[in-house]
Structure 1
Amino acid sequence: MIKISLCLFLVSVPFFAIICSAFSEDRPTDRRVLVLLDDFAIKSSHSIFFKSLETRGFDLDFKLADDPKLALQRYGQYLYDAVVLFAPTIDRFGGSVDAASLLEFVDSGHDLILAADTSASDLIREIAVECGVDFDEDPAAMVIDHTNHAVSETEGHHTLIASDDFINSEVILGSRKIEDPVLFKGIGHSINPSSSLVTKVLSASPAAYSANPKSKLSSPPTLIGSAISLVSVVQARNNARILISGSLTVFSDRFFRSGVQKAGSTTKHEKCGNEQFFVELSKWVFHERGHLKAVNVRHNKVGETDEPSMYRIKDDLEYSVEVYEWSGSSWEPYVAGDMQVQFYMMSPYVLKTLSSNEKGLYYTSFKVPDVYGVFQFKVEYQRLGYTALSLSKQIPVRPFRHNEYERFIPAALPYYGASFSMHSFYVL
């Protein structure tokens, strides 16, 4: 898995810590994009996809992957905000770029789109493995499906797949449902099912398998059925996003414009779903959707407005935070009913679900527990497709001072009585 070294940009100061987003609050989307190609011909053969990025305001810098002047940073500053790697056959990058520097680029909070195919080099496979994705080890293997392939007069091995097994997530694929199957021809990959960072967004059907289409099977294939992922995404712990596809052709103008008819179906779609699928998916990868920020994290005693330096046990307090989502052009209130705050010291003493005014403000109130020490207000919010929010504020809680206790405690009446009776005994 990616070895994230800068996790959520932790900022530590006395009694205060807040972790939010790895991106600018004014405009979180990446604008400078380096596009690495095997051949400049890809720039024209995949022009529709590139045009969709440029239309949305991205500045694309096209370079050959083996360009001897290639560099991701200069004087310690990154030159780009994202990389599109459309060079599946590259064995070695040019200039100062290598697999380690590309992974460090992601570790620093930047995004990556990687497309492979049947000619994927060991370098591309190595980068994919570090991102949590394992391509089929057989270099000649392709995804084959004899029941869910696309009808084609030229493709007889059933490697042209018509897949409509999409992830059910509006934040990743957009609110408009994809009605048309996606054409796919390439290699499959698997992901670690225990990983919470990698997610399949386009899966193969239960009847699919990965093998060499030009040779007979001598042993059962290692990748079969819905375990085969055609397209996956990764959201790292620092909120960097990665798209990994087992096919470069799926981004091509030919596939974007092609019609599709699934085997066994009489319905012929005039246009496949590739353009809608990958354009919407690229919006998520480049943080045009599903990007959250938290601001104005506050807490105070009930009836007061200033934030105290400490609380006393059994104080009544209020906690609030404002959360917004980037819509692609502006920050909009994020509305949810499952955000919670913990009042935490070694373990949660208080766990409260935050109420919302549906305008971005989340708030609650509770009584400080009868335990003194150093506590934290903690909000850990992780939902599929959204950037993770991890907020914390530290605050000490003190006990009552000697002059803050009640003069007479009702629970101590037996002791008072005993004391008076002993006093009376000695007087007598």
Structure 2
Amino acid sequence: MAKVSIFKAVITLLLPLVCLSFSPEEPTDRRILVLVDDFSLKSSHSIFFNSLRSRGFLLDIKLAEDPALSLQRYGQYLYDALVLFSPSTDRFGGSLDLAAVLDFVDSGHDLIIAVDASASDLIKNIATECGVDFDEDPSTVVVDHGSYAVSESDGDHTLIVSNDFIRSDVMLGETEIQAPVLFEGIAHSLNAENSLVLKVLSASPSAYSADPSSKLSSPPTLIGSAISLVSVVQARNNARIMVTGSLAMFSNRLFRSGVQKAGSPNKYPKSGNEQFVTELSKWVFHERGHLKAVNVTHHKVGETDEPLSYRINDDLDFSVEIYEWSGKSWEPYVANDVQVQFYMMSPYVLKSLSTDQKGLYHASFKVPDVYGVFQFKVEYHKLGYTSISLSKQIPVRPFRHNEYERFITTAFPYYGASFTTMAGFFIFSFVYLYQK
């Protein structure tokens, strides 16, 4: 009896965690592992952490060198997302390493990487695998003598100001970020061979990556708009990654700091850091831009049941429902660029789907005059949204022998030729037999 009671108690404690875990029906990440170099980040970055908790996330903040670190147990992942606020860590504790982090992302989980000038090779290697390359020189930071905060007192212009945001409501929200973002950290560039990585916040044309404490002996390796301050990746498995060279960007100090760009009369009482980070984290953790397609149906025009096969030249109706996760519930997704393919080796029909503004997409078309095994395919890829890839197989057959018309109009010339041949043969035979 004691063992049964203990088992029930364990189930009672674990049940809320299971219910809050990542699932297709509620895709928002709930369990987040945050790795830090020092527990002082709990207080220095408390506004960011509290904003996550207020949105229902369960944060587990641990030291990056904790010997008990593990992302999974008995083949099941313990967390839905990973936040690396440990730039100087040379080696993770426990069973966590570079391969474990990459496997975590490959399994569809999300990742945030924030570094600073102390970034270790381990953290840089993780970023490189995600399509982002940090400046190799460990002494360099982003310097901008044109777009720096006027409140900076040291004069090295490493606290820079940027409002060169990506134009995407799904990533940054529909409310425009009025105040610019304060950035203090190192530069990175995008791997040209990776088509999935995007700049979210770019540096100004006057920025460059260098050591501010020494004179430039050679041209900087990264300059101007080639410098990315914040980048994101949406993998093909819909895992989302955010990479930034500024851990300070998440700090209470820069959240609360006023902003005035050098040479600009506009002064903002509060930076745009909090709004920018909050909105972008909503996208990273699937609170926005997460789509699902359900109820794929097709049938002949005038019927309701799905057939086992179609006949060439049949008229059919196709429909699918698409919804977007709002962070709390599924809402109808409305767009005019969703298409369906009727596919066999190549698309024989490519049709844009109409929407009823309530999530239902539909189209009608005629089955091509080609028989074989076809597929209904919906491949939807849009910036900032999870990809939709679905297919449904259906055979297409030709007419049976008893399904053709008795006399086919297009065959009249052949009918005429046949009867003309018979009439000619009869006349020839008559003349030949009865001529004198």
TM-score (norm 2): 0.91
Task: Check whether the contact 2:131–2:197 (CA below 8 A) recurs between aligned residues.
Answer: yes
Q: Distance between the aligned counterparts of 1:122 and 1:136, measured in 2?
A: 11
1:115 is the counterpart of 2:114: yes
Give the counterpart letter for 1:392 in structure 2: S
Residue in 2 that maps onto 1:205: 204
Q: Deviations over 1:310-357 (max 9, x none)?
A: 111000000000001111111110000111111111111111110000
Q: Distance between the aligned counterparts of 1:371 and 1:412, measured in 2?
A: 20
Residue in 1 that maps onto 2:287: 288
Task: Check whether the contact 2:152–2:159 (CA below 8 A) recurs between aligned residues.
Answer: no
Q: Could you tell me how far 1:412 is from its partner in structure 2?
A: 1.7
Q: Distance between the aligned counterparts of 1:126 and 1:194, measured in 2?
A: 16
Residue in 2 that maps onto 1:261: 260
1:420 is the counterpart of 2:419: yes
3-state DSSP class of the match of 1:350? Answer: strand
- Structure 1 pair 338/177, CA: closer, same or farther in 2 (3 Å)? same
Residue in 2 that maps onto 1:14: none
Q: Distance between the aligned counterparts of 1:417 and 1:272, measured in 2?
A: 86
Q: Could you tell me how far 1:426 is from its partner in structure 2?
A: 3.6
Residue in 2 that maps onto 1:17: none
Q: Distance between the aligned counterparts of 1:25 and 1:76, measured in 2?
A: 19
Task: Check whether the contact 2:312–2:397 (CA below 8 A) recurs between aligned residues.
Answer: yes
- Structure 1 pair 186/153, CA: closer, same or farther in 2 (3 Å)? closer
Give the counterpart letter for 1:95 in structure 2: G
Q: Could you tell me how far 1:192 is from its partner in structure 2?
A: 2.8
Q: Distance between the aligned counterparts of 1:61 and 1:337, measured in 2?
A: 41
Q: Distance between the aligned counterparts of 1:413 and 1:303, measured in 2?
A: 32
Moved over 6 A (4+): none
1:363 is the counterpart of 2:390: no
Residue in 2 that maps onto 1:221: 220
Q: Distance between the aligned counterparts of 1:155 and 1:236, measured in 2?
A: 40
Q: Distance between the aligned counterparts of 2:330 and 2:354, measured in 1?
A: 20
Number of residue pairs the alignment of both structures matches: 406
Q: Could you tell me how far 1:194 is from its partner in structure 2?
A: 5.4
Give the counterpart letter for 1:275 in structure 2: E
Identical counterparts, % of pairs? 74
Q: Deviations over 1:57-116 (max 9, x none)?
A: 000011100100100000000000001110000000000000100110000010011101
Query: Which structure 1 residue ranges, 5 or more long, are not aligned?
Result: 1-22
Q: Could you tell me how far 1:193 is from its partner in structure 2?
A: 4.2
Task: Check whether the contact 2:292–2:323 (CA below 8 A) recurs between aligned residues.
Answer: yes
Residue in 2 that maps onto 1:12: none
Task: Check whether the contact 2:186–2:246 (CA below 8 A) recurs between aligned residues.
Answer: yes
Q: Deviations over 1:25-61 (max 9, x none)?
A: 3211010010101011111110000000000000001
Bigger RCO of structures 1 and 2 (CA < 8 A, at least 6 apart)? 1
Give the counterpart letter for 1:315 in structure 2: D
Q: Could you tell me how far 1:260 is from its partner in structure 2?
A: 1.1
Q: Distance between the aligned counterparts of 1:30 and 1:397, measured in 2?
A: 42
Give the counterpart letter for 2:144 in structure 1: D
Residue in 1 that maps onto 2:297: 298
Q: Distance between the aligned counterparts of 2:24 and 2:74, measured in 1?
A: 25
Q: Distance between the aligned counterparts of 2:193 and 2:320, measured in 1?
A: 32
Q: Distance between the aligned counterparts of 1:46 and 1:418, measured in 2?
A: 90
Superposed counterparts of 1:175-194, under 5 Å: 175-193=174-192
Q: Distance between the aligned counterparts of 1:192 and 1:252, measured in 2?
A: 28
- Structure 1 pair 154/421, CA: closer, same or farther in 2 (3 Å)? same
Residue in 2 that maps onto 1:5: none
Q: Distance between the aligned counterparts of 1:59 and 1:47, measured in 2?
A: 14
Q: Could you tell me how far 1:425 is from its partner in structure 2?
A: 3.4
Greater fraction of residues in helix: 2
3-state DSSP class of the match of 2:402? Answer: helix
Query: Which structure 2 residue ranges, 5 or more long, are not aligned?
Result: 1-21, 431-436
Residue in 2 that maps onto 1:276: 275
1:49 is the counterpart of 2:48: yes
Q: Deviations over 1:229-262 (max 9, x none)?
A: 0001110000000110101011001111111110
TM-score (norm 1): 0.93
Q: Could you tell me how far 1:266 is from its partner in structure 2?
A: 1.9
3-state DSSP class of the match of 2:424? Answer: helix
Residue in 1 that maps onto 2:246: 247
Q: Could you tell me how far 1:414 is from its partner in structure 2?
A: 2.0
3-state DSSP class of the match of 1:402? Answer: coil
Residue in 1 that maps onto 2:15: none
Q: Distance between the aligned counterparts of 1:264 and 1:425, measured in 2?
A: 101
Superposed counterparts of 1:22-421, under 5 Å: 24-193=23-192, 195-421=194-420
